[in-house]
Structures are given as structure tokens and as C-alpha cells.
Amino acid sequence: MIRISLLGAGRIGVIHALNAKANLNVDLRYIADPREEAARDLAEKVGAKVVDVNAAINADDVDAVIIATSTNTHAELSHAALNAGKAVFCEKPIDLDINSASGVAEHVQQSGLPYFVAFNRRFDPSFAALQRGLSDLGKLEQLVITSRDPSPPPVEYIKVSGGLFRDMTIHDFDMALWLLNEPLRDVHAIGSCQVDPAIGQAGDIDTATITLTTVSGAQCVILNSRRAAYGYDQRVEAFGARGMLQAHNIKPTQLHRFGAEGENSDRLEDFFLQRYAAAYQAEMAAFVQALVTQSPMPVSVQDGVNALKLANAAYASLEQGKPVGF
Amino acid sequence: MIRISLLGAGRIGVIHALNAKANLNVDLRYIADPREEAARDLAEKVGAKVVDVNAAINADDVDAVIIATSTNTHAELSHAALNAGKAVFCEKPIDLDINSASGVAEHVQQSGLPYFVAFNRRFDPSFAALQRGLSDLGKLEQLVITSRDPSPPPVEYIKVSGGLFRDMTIHDFDMALWLLNEPLRDVHAIGSCQVDPAIGQAGDIDTATITLTTVSGAQCVILNSRRAAYGYDQRVEAFGARGMLQAHNIKPTQLHRFGAEGENSDRLEDFFLQRYAAAYQAEMAAFVQALVTQSPMPVSVQDGVNALKLANAAYASLEQGKPVGF
Amino acid sequence: MIRISLLGAGRIGVIHALNAKANLNVDLRYIADPREEAARDLAEKVGAKVVDVNAAINADDVDAVIIATSTNTHAELSHAALNAGKAVFCEKPIDLDINSASGVAEHVQQSGLPYFVAFNRRFDPSFAALQRGLSDLGKLEQLVITSRDPSPPPVEYIKVSGGLFRDMTIHDFDMALWLLNEPLRDVHAIGSCQVDPAIGQAGDIDTATITLTTVSGAQCVILNSRRAAYGYDQRVEAFGARGMLQAHNIKPTQLHRFGAEGENSDRLEDFFLQRYAAAYQAEMAAFVQALVTQSPMPVSVQDGVNALKLANAAYASLEQGKPVGF
Amino acid sequence: MIRISLLGAGRIGVIHALNAKANLNVDLRYIADPREEAARDLAEKVGAKVVDVNAAINADDVDAVIIATSTNTHAELSHAALNAGKAVFCEKPIDLDINSASGVAEHVQQSGLPYFVAFNRRFDPSFAALQRGLSDLGKLEQLVITSRDPSPPPVEYIKVSGGLFRDMTIHDFDMALWLLNEPLRDVHAIGSCQVDPAIGQAGDIDTATITLTTVSGAQCVILNSRRAAYGYDQRVEAFGARGMLQAHNIKPTQLHRFGAEGENSDRLEDFFLQRYAAAYQAEMAAFVQALVTQSPMPVSVQDGVNALKLANAAYASLEQGKPVGF
């Protein structure tokens, strides 16, 4: 039985709490959140106790800490949890600053403690099946990752988000590194403001096309947009010597309507909470399973650092208007 | 080179003329149609000569006759062509009357001449692939044939059509007999007027569900309607010990539109001319190929008689309100 | 907060317990099962208390009883729960005997207590969307329900199952009655043993085609088999004046593999636990919601009786070899 | 009636001859090919006369010339046909050399004669529907063109092909320019040899990812490979403010096989002759229609020049390892 404290009772904290609760190997003991009411509501729901953040981290009867707070606190809380000798499940990203993220990675290495970066997409059943299928595909030659949010977040959020590449594409960078599974040679990022000029005024872009090349010559394209009128568009396509693998989108129902206007089916799932419900469950299970069996974490702190490095390289390319080495 | 006369320059005659013309083993020599202008237009298009029906049938320099005239002339023209020693390609049905159709079958047998009943659906690439796939499916256990016209013909046509089962279902009866490939035990037909009361007043039905059982216990359902707002609906589904085969519909394009209202794609193909274009080509090729190689006709006169018998049995069942033996 | 006792800690009891537990309006208090270990395991998992069946039914601090025991106990436990003044959630069927089932229905009516028959398929997101979509389809003209289990149960189970129509088709009968939403005129059942002769020796069939007609002339076909090598096949197709609605199957992943052999995607979901996971959740939510809001149950005891009556009529038709009135 | 000479009786010449023959507004009079037997065979099939190339071009009774010879003769024959005052239908590319192609464009402009570059893909029913659909999509933000040949041509062909970008991508460049419909800002090409080292030894690449940006900030990706084990992969995906358009691939049949291994359907169409059969028909019809109605050609000589310029820019980018302006 893994005993866990949860830091953060917001939208994603609720998801992790429910999945932890449903896991028969987890005893979710403590929840901490400065917004006391949120903490209390969630604690009641899952039978946990509300405590302050220090108590949650340092409790003697706790083995692991889930960090689901706002991004700017991830590094500090990671250090605190590691200092307390706890295993860590940290929402992505570790930090928006590469030095800070690397500092956490060093701390993890010194401590020898398990640290899991919650790149949930790796645990999506279709993407996971695609990854397993790569071994039958022959040499991976091209990879296309399509990732479009249904609509942009408020500009206030954009301003503190770290920018498109560190906030949104970071997931796709992790997917690319995971699937390509070989060192990159260079990165080329193209970006523009196609969705909302206010995003541009905030110094960010909302539409991007990023190409990665590997040392063996494989080519990867990431397509990003902050807008998709038809729902949350999340696909992967891999091309190899023996064929192609496609992981398609998911829709709420399998209903098809045929009328004079043709065939119609649902919009895609609204957004990440619906689309990745199974992935969130599976990542919690994977984290707990690794602790129970004392196996290496399926996503390491270094994976979190690498995705952030790639985001930084993409920004360098965008600014210079040309590919940069990686 | 097979030398051919075409009787009938209407909608279906034009199709057969163009497919005959495109076939490198065919010399389409003569066209006959009482509507002289239609005959002349078509003849010009395909480089044939307009003659009267007797000349077309009895020409010395002709090996085969295509009968694409109105149904009530099929039997008489079949006899004439057989008397002239010609091979025959006859549009379905041979006749609406079973005695007359059987008379043609007898004549064919006595003459030893090749006779092809144009059940075009057997030559649809998807249905043909399904039929070939049956050998890998294990014992055929259930079969579902969905066949819905986009909209009902004029009531005037309904009145002389021979009724739904002899006019429209006859195709599905042939498909069922072809795919089930074993003797039937009984037939049960349910029918009603759901589309247009005028069809009922003309003594016919417009919506039907027919179940067939075979001696081995296999079960077949035919679903018919004179209406499908979404286009011409033509599907087959076969279930066997090792799985299921589905032959899906065809759409004019492969365009998929994703918007706030979900995913939309085309209506089905409008009607038989579009949907079965490839089938019409292939049936002509099959007829000519059988003549060239002196092989048995892939659809025999007996197939035409059997489908009509089944239509008659379905009417008996409909009248008696219970299954009838076959 | 609805306080609940669960009777039965088998496969389906576990599902209901987990869904009840996850429902924020439910307090799952007691679990009873003669197999004590099963009861204890489940109780521990969901934080309930193990008691004997009488205590579970008659506990003062309980509002509703979930009956998830073997079929032959449903009626007796229903009466006991009604006598104790509890609302009832009863797994289908109420009983294999129509008199016994009708007796429960009478008891429910006299008591005025809420009684829910767990026809889970009505709560499948795709089937529910299809049902809602019927209002835009115009007059419902034809309906096709395809329902095939992946593989037959042991013959020992077959012998006590009540037969295909009462055990398996009962779900489809409920779906048909729910979707057709008008009185039936007659029922015609065709059945045979295509899958396993041992099923026939046990006096049952394993493959069936049932046609229903309504008073307005609408036609419904139910296709059943105890075998589907490709997974659990559960589909509905509705035809109306304005088009067609299709509820398709569900697959474990959205991965498509393209290779020299063509395009391949997953088998269908294995069986009901996977396929109807969302439906089981939704039916529990619907039951609880009806209790909380004191609304009529979305599936009534009469629905359970009607489906059983239809199963009996289907058996009568099968024996007589012709349609029977309903 | 448009009277036509065809130059070249090879694979693509045969296609154009058959489509011209089937067009009721065309009189295909002359065929020229140095390989006399090929010319004779084709001429016999379509009822044309074999002549030498000069006679074919200069015949008084000819309005238009179809150039379907090897690429290195296109420019010279174009000049000759223009000098003879004929309209021209020229297979792509006009020439591998931009100066030569531009020379043809100048000649066309001076002559005022109709000149059609046969970019067949614009006439594919699905791509054409996608292009028409762009007007409802809002601002076009991203565009993805996937174009993969089933297998590489012989290395001997590669050597004289002009290279991947001028031989294969040229089609995609035309599609991109047509669909983006605004000036480009820059081009970035990534390429490698993933399929066959012999192609690299011949100085070419076999796998490429090309990104284009427009002056408004729209982004386009072209994915190319000389290999697709699953058939000829030809797709377009367009993203705009109001949604997404996808033009999917085409398969030989609509048969779906469901078994223990899941669902299987056909490979994609083999190659361009099958996949673009409808497009070849439609482009011939469009060419003839423009002549008959004296309208501007739907694909102009300038379109041919532009695609070649873009291919050259892609080579410049590939060599310099960075984006180049366009």
C-alpha cells in the first residue's frame, strides 16, 4: 500500500485524487491547498485529511507526494519532497526555467528517490499501442504529431504560461523524443499568430509547425494550434519501412447520422479531461506500480528536462528563423 | 472479337453500349430502338449502325444480342435471339411471369446457347470480394442484405413493375441465393407502406423485411425500402464461424469536414448508375470473357428463374402472413 | 445521500459496487453474499460492511437495495426489499417465469416504491444518443439490432439460463420496445444451432433472427448469435423518413495499422464488462438521480415484465414455426 | 468538336487517349510515337491514325496537341505546337530546367494560345471538393500534404528524374500553391535517404519534409517518401478558423473483414493510374471544356513554372540547411 499526499486540489489535482483513490494499492492520506475550501471538498470526497503543505510533505506515514500545484511551485515543492525522502509524482513541466528543472534532476539523482513526470499522453491507450507497434514497423522514417487545443486560454494565462512551446508543445516534444527514440540532430520552428492577435501582443504565438531531424535522418513534424473548432485534436502518425501507424482521435459516442446532408458524427472529445481520462488513470497506475515493484519510473525526471530543453531550442530556432542543432 | 447487337437505347442501354464499346473484345455493330432518335444518338456515339429489331437480332455478322428493352419484351426477344442462334445478355428480370421465364430457360437449355442474366450486383467489386471471402469465413450462419432506393419511382411505374419483390428485391433474392449457396427451406416476408400511401393504393408495398432459412439452418435477412434520404444504400453483411464480412457503401468523394457540428462526409452515391458503374463494366467484361473462352455464363438463365420463384414465394408469404416453404 | 445495500458480490455486483461508490450521492453501507470471502473482499475495497442478506435488506439506515444475485433469487429478494420499504435496483431479468415477474410488478405497484430493472444498454452513450436522435428521424420505419456474444457460455449455464431469448435476447427485446415506442402487432422467431451442437442437445438454440412488426407497420429485426470471433458485436440501426442512425461498435484503441496486407484495427471490445463500462456507470447514476429527485424510474418494473413477455412470445413463434400476435 | 493529336503512346499517353476518346467533344485524330508498335496499337484501339511527330503537330485538321512524351522533349514539342498555332495539353513538368520552362511560358504569352499543364491532382474529386470547401473554412492556417509512392522507381530513372523535388514533389508544390492561394514567404526542405542507399549514391533523397510559410503566416507541410508498403498514400488536410478538411485515401473495395485479429480492409490503391483514374478523366474534360467555351485554362503554364521554381527553392534550402525566401 503506497501512502500518498496530494499538493493542489485544482482541476488536475481532483483527477489525480480520484485515480489514486480508485487504485487499490494507494492510501491517499493528506491533501494540501492554500484554497482551503477546495482542499476540504476534495478530501471529503476521497476520505483524506486536509493539512498544510509542510505537513503533507513531511508526514511520517507518507511514501509519495503528488505535486499538482501551479507550475511556478513545482521545483520548490519537488526539492522539499525529495528532502523529506519521498517519491514524487510531478505534473509537467518541472519548471519553465531549464536551470531550475536541471537542479531538480540533479537532486533526484543524488537522492536516488523515484521521480515521475506526468506526461499523461504516453499512457493514452492508442498512443501506447502505437509506441509498442513501432517495433514491427521497421526503421522509423517519418513521424507526424498533430496537437490542437479546442480554444485558446485567457491571455492572462498566456502571459505566465512560459509560451506555447513550454506550455503546450512540451507534451508533443516529450511524445516526439519518446517515439523517435534516438538523438536529435536539429530543430526548426515556424510560428505565427493566426488565432488571436492578443496572443501576439502578449509576445506569444498560437500556431506552430516544428520539424525535428534525428541523427539517422528520420524526420518529425509537430503541428500545433490553440484552436480547433471541431474539438481537441490529438493524433500521431508514424511511417516506417513496413507501413504506417495512425492513432486517431476519440469521440464521445459512436453514433453516425445519415441524412440528406450526408453522414455526420460527433465532434471530437472536448478537451484533455475527457480525451485523456484513461491516460490519467493509467499514468497513476504506472507510477504506483513502479513504486510497488521498485522498478524505474516509466517517465523520468530527465525526460522532463529533455522536453524543456527542446522547447528552448525551438524558441531559439523561431527567433533565428532557421534550424538549430540539438 | 464478339460482334454484338443492342436492343434498347434507354438509360441502361446506353450504359451497356458504352461498356461494350470500351471492351477491346467487342465489336458493337447494331442498335435497335423504336425511339429512333435515341437509337441514332447512341449509335453515333459508339460508332454502331441503327437497324430495326429483327435485323439486329438476325444479322449474320452478329454473335450476341443485348436485351435492354422494357421488361415485358424480354421473353419474346430472348426467344427470337435464341431462334437466331445468338448468345443473349438479358437485363433482369427475364419476365415477371414465372411460366414465361421458365419457358425461356427451357429454350436456352434446348438450344445450348449461352444466356446471361444481368444481375449486376454480383460484379460490384466489394460484393464480389465479399463472396470470395466467404470461403475463409467458415460455415455461413447469418447474412444481412440492406437495399434501399433513394426515392420511390412514379406510381405509374409501380403499377406495371410487378411489385416490390419482382422489381426491386429480385436483385437481393439473387444476391441471397448466390451468397447462401445452399437450398432454402422457407421464406417469410413482412411488408408495409411506410413511404407513400399511393403505393399502397396501387396494391404494392414500399418497405419490406424478408427472412430466408436454409436447409442447414443459416438465416438471411433482406431489408428493403423505396426511400433513403441519404442516398442509395447497398450493403451486405455475412457472419460465419471465423468472423464477419461487411461490404460498405460508396460515396462520391473521400472528403471529411470537421467543424463545430462534428464530422461530416458525403451522402451515399445517388443511385444505381453511379454506385454500380464499376459493376456494369465488370458484368459486360464477364459476359464477353465467357463467350471468348467458351466458358459457362457466370449468371445463368436458371439464376434468373430462381430469383423470380423466390419473389413469388415472398408474395405468398406476405399474403398468408406466415413463412412458406421453398 | 442515498444509503444502499448490495446483495451479491459476484462479477456484476463488483461493477455496481464500484459505480455506487464513485457516485457522490451514494453511501454504500452493506454487502451480503453467501460466499463470505467475496463479500469481505468487495466490502473492504469500497468501505462497506458485510452483513447477512436479511440484515442488508432490513437495515434501518438503508434506502435502497441492489439485487445482483443469481437470477433465481431476484423475485424473492425483490419481495423482501419491497416489504422492507426499500427502493430496488434489480439486475435483469426479474425472473425467468412470467407469473413470478408479474407478481413482483404487482407488488411494486401496490407498494408505490421505486423499482429499477437494470437494462444497461439503454444507458450506453451511443444507444442513448441514437434514441434521442429518433425524434429528428421522422416516422421510424425499420430497426435492426445486432447483438452477438463473443463465445457461448458453458452448456451447464445454458441449461439453467432460461434459453437464448430469456437470457440474451431479453436485452434486445427491451431495446426494441424502448426504441420502437409503439405497440407490437406480432413476433416471428427463427432459430437454429450453428455454433455448438451441445447447445442444441441442451434444448436451446445459439443463432436467431427475430422480426417484430408494430401496429403502424414498422419492422424490427434482431440478429443474435452466441459467437463472434471478432469480439462483442453490439449495434443498432434505425431507418426513418429523414435518414438513418447507426450506433457502431467500440474498440479498445483507435490505432490503425497500414501494411502490405491492408489496414488493420483492433478487435471489438471483449465483452459486456468492457463495452458497457460507461453504461453501467450511467445506469447507476440514473437510478440514484431518480431517487434523489423523486422522479419516475427511467426503466420500470413493467419494462422488465414486457421484455420477458416478448421472449415468451418468441419461443411460441419458434415452436409454431410462424408469427404470433403480441 | 476539338480535334487532337497525341504525342507519346506510353503509359500516360494511353490514359489520355482513352479519356480523350471517351469525351464526346473530342475527335482524337493522330498519334505519334517513335516506338511504332505502341503507336499502332493505341491508334487501333481508339480509331486514330499513326503519323510522325511533325505531321501530328502541324496537321491542318487539328486544334490541340497532347504532349505525353518523355520529360526532356516537353519544351521543344511545346514550342513546335505553339508555332503551329495549336492549343497544348502538356504532361508535367514543362521542363526540369527553369529557364527552359520560363521560355515556354513566354512563348505561350506571346502566342495567346491556350496551354494546360496536366497537374492531375487538382481534378481528383476529393481534392477538388476540399479546395471548394476552403471558402467555408475561414482563414487557412495550416495545410498538410501527404504524398508517398508505393515503391521507388529504378535508380536509372532517379538519375534522369531531375530529383525528388522536381519529379515527385512538383505535384505537391502545385497542390500547395493552389490551395494556399497567397504568396509564399519562405521554404524549408529537409531530406534524407531512408529507403534505399542507392538513391543517395545517385545524388538524390527519398524521404523529405518541406515546410512553406505564406506572407500571412499560414504554414504548410509536405511529407514525401518514395515508399509506402500499404499503397499509394495521397492525402490533404487543411485547418482553418472554422474547422478542418481531410481528403482521405481511396481503396479498391469497401470490404471490411472482422476476425480474431481485428478489422481488416484493403491496401490503398496501388499507384497513380488507379488512384487518379477519375482525376485523369476530369482533367481531360476540363481541358476540352476550356477550349470549347474559350475560357482560361484551369491550370496555366505559369502554374507549371511556379511549381518548378518552388522545387528549385527547396533544393536551395536543402543544400543550405535552412529556409530560403521565395
Contacts of range C70-73, beta carbons closer than 8 Å, 24 or more positions apart: C70/C8, C71/C95, C71/C96, C71/C162, C72/C96, C72/C160
Please report the pLDDT score of residue B45 as a whole number: 86
Please report the pLDDT score of residue D23 as a whole number: 87
Distance between CA atoms of residues C99 and C95, nearest Å: 9
Q: What is the CATH number of domain D2-113?
A: 3.40.50.720
| Interchain pair C192, B217: CB under 8 A | yes
What angle in degrees, to the nearest 10, is found between the helix axes of C74-83 and C98-111?
10
Residues of chain C positioned with their CB less than 8 A from the CB of B230:
243-244
Percent of chain A with pLDDT over 70: 100
Minimal CA–CA distance to A222: which of A162, A260, A275, A176? A176
| Interchain pair D264, C261: CB under 8 A | yes
Residues of chain C positioned with their CB less than 8 A from the CB of A254:
126, 247-250
Minimal CA–CA distance to C320: which of B214, B221, B322, B185? B322
| Interchain pair D239, A148: CB under 8 A | yes
Q: Considering only CB atoms, which residues of chain D are within 8 Å of chain A? A: 139, 141-142, 144, 148, 188, 190, 192-195, 207-209, 211, 213, 217-219, 221, 223, 225, 227-230, 233, 239, 241-244, 321-323
CA distance B277 to chain D (A): 12
Please report the pLDDT score of residue C23 as a whole number: 87
Element housing B325 (H / E): strand B324-325
* Domain C2-113 and domain C122-279+306-325 have a common topology: no
Which residue of chain D has the CA closest to A148? D239
Answer whether residue A283 shows pLDDT above 90: yes
Answer whether residue D294 shows pLDDT above 90: yes
Distance between CA atoms of residues B7 and B65, nearest Å: 7
The answer to whether the CB of B75 falls within 8 A of the CB of B95 is yes
Answer whether residue C304 shows pLDDT above 90: yes
Confidence of residue C21 (pLDDT cuts 50, 70, 90): confident
Nearest to B142 among C188, C207, C242 (CB): C207
Q: Across residues A223-250, what is the average pLDDT? A: 98
Element housing B201 (H / E): helix B197-201
Residues of chain B positioned with their CB less than 8 A from the CB of C239:
148, 223, 225, 228
Distance between CA atoms of residues C246 and C224, nearest Å: 18
Residue D168 main-chain phi, psi, to 5 deg: -110, -50
Answer whether residue C163 shows pLDDT above 90: yes
Please report the pLDDT score of residue D24 as a whole number: 81
Distance between CA atoms of residues C20 and C4, nearest Å: 8
Tell me the three state secondary structure of residue A140: strand
Q: Considering only CB atoms, which residues of chain C are within 8 Å of chain D? A: 229-231, 251, 258-268
| Interchain pair B230, A268: CB under 8 A | no
In terms of residues, how long is chain A? 326
In terms of residues, how long is chain C? 326
Distance between CA atoms of residues C247 and B99, nearest Å: 45
Residues of chain C positioned with their CB less than 8 A from the CB of B148:
239
Rg over alpha carbons for chain A, rounded to the nearest Å, is: 20
Interface contacts A/B by beta carbons within 8 Å: 49
Q: For the sheet with C2-7, list strands across it.
A: C49-50, C26-32, C2-7, C64-67, C87-91, C115-118
Encode B184-220: b = buried (16+ Cβ within 10 Å), e = exposed. bbbbbbbbbbbbbeebbebebbbbbbbbbbbeebbbb
Answer whether residue D84 shows pLDDT above 90: yes
Minimal CA–CA distance to B82: which of B50, B115, B118? B115
Residue A85: Cβ within 10 Å count: 11
Cell of A175: 511524445
Residues of chain C positioned with their CB less than 8 A from the CB of B244:
228, 230, 233
Which residue of chain D has the CA closest to A207? D141
- pLDDT, one tens digit per residue, over C211-266 is 999 999 999 999 999 999 999 999 999 999 999 999 999 999 999 999 999 999 99
**Counting beta carbons within 10 angstroms of the beta carbon of residue C198, is it exposed (0 to 12), middle (13 to 18) or buried (19 or more)?**
middle
- pLDDT, one tens digit per residue, over C93-134 is 999 999 999 999 999 999 999 999 999 999 999 999 999 999
Please report the pLDDT score of residue A315 as a whole number: 97
Distance between CA atoms of residues A183 and A326, nearest Å: 8
Percent of chain D with pLDDT over 70: 100
* Residue that the C-alpha cell 458524427 belongs to: A265
Which residue of chain B has the CA closest to D18? B22
Element housing B228 (H / E): none
Confidence of residue C39 (pLDDT cuts 50, 70, 90): very high
| Interchain pair D250, B255: CB under 8 A | no
Please report the pLDDT score of residue C5 as a whole number: 98
ipTM of the complex in this document:
0.95
| Average pLDDT taken over every residue of chain A | 97
Cell of C266: 483492433
Answer whether residue C208 shows pLDDT above 90: yes
Tell me the three state secondary structure of residue A261: coil
| Interchain pair C126, A253: CB under 8 A | yes
Interface-testing mutation among A145, A182, A188, A190, with chain D (most D C-beta atoms within 10 A): A190
Domain coordinates of chain A in residue numbers?
2-113, 122-279+306-325
- pLDDT, one tens digit per residue, over A171-205 is 999 999 999 999 999 999 999 999 999 999 999 99
Please report the pLDDT score of residue D45 as a whole number: 86
Beta strands A255-259 and A262-265, pairing class: antiparallel
Please report the pLDDT score of residue C45 as a whole number: 86
Distance between CA atoms of residues D93 and D70, nearest Å: 10
Query: How far does CA C308 lie from the centroid of its chain?
Result: 12
- pLDDT, one tens digit per residue, over D93-129 is 999 999 999 999 999 999 999 999 999 999 999 999 9
- pLDDT, one tens digit per residue, over A93-152 is 999 999 999 999 999 999 999 999 999 999 999 999 999 999 999 999 999 999 999 999
Q: Considering only CB atoms, which residues of chain B are within 8 Å of chain C? A: 139, 141-142, 144, 148, 188, 190, 192-195, 207-209, 211, 213, 217-219, 221, 223, 225, 227-230, 233, 239, 241-244, 321-323
- Strand ranges inside A48-170, DSSP E: 49-50, 64-67, 87-91, 115-118, 140-148
Please report the pLDDT score of residue D142 as a whole number: 98
Chains that touch B (3 or more CB pairs under 8 A): A, C, D
Please report the pLDDT score of residue D57 as a whole number: 98
Helices (runs of H) and strands (runs of E) counted in chain C: 13, 15
| Interchain pair D229, C259: CB under 8 A | yes
Residues of chain D positioned with their CB less than 8 A from the CB of A243:
228-230
The answer to whether the CB of C306 falls within 8 A of the CB of B307 is no
Which CATH class, in words, describes the domain spanning B122-279+306-325?
Answer: alpha beta
| Average pLDDT taken over every residue of chain C | 97
Question: At A251, which amino acid appears?
Answer: K
Low-confidence ranges of chain B (pLDDT < 70): none
Mean pLDDT lowest among B41-45, B223-227, D189-193, D245-249: B41-45
Cell of D279: 482525376
CA distance A322 to chain D (A): 5
Query: How far does CA D250 lie from the centroid of its chain?
Result: 18
Residues of chain B positioned with their CB less than 8 A from the CB of C321:
323
The answer to whether the CB of C158 falls within 8 A of the CB of C202 is yes
| Interchain pair C211, B208: CB under 8 A | no
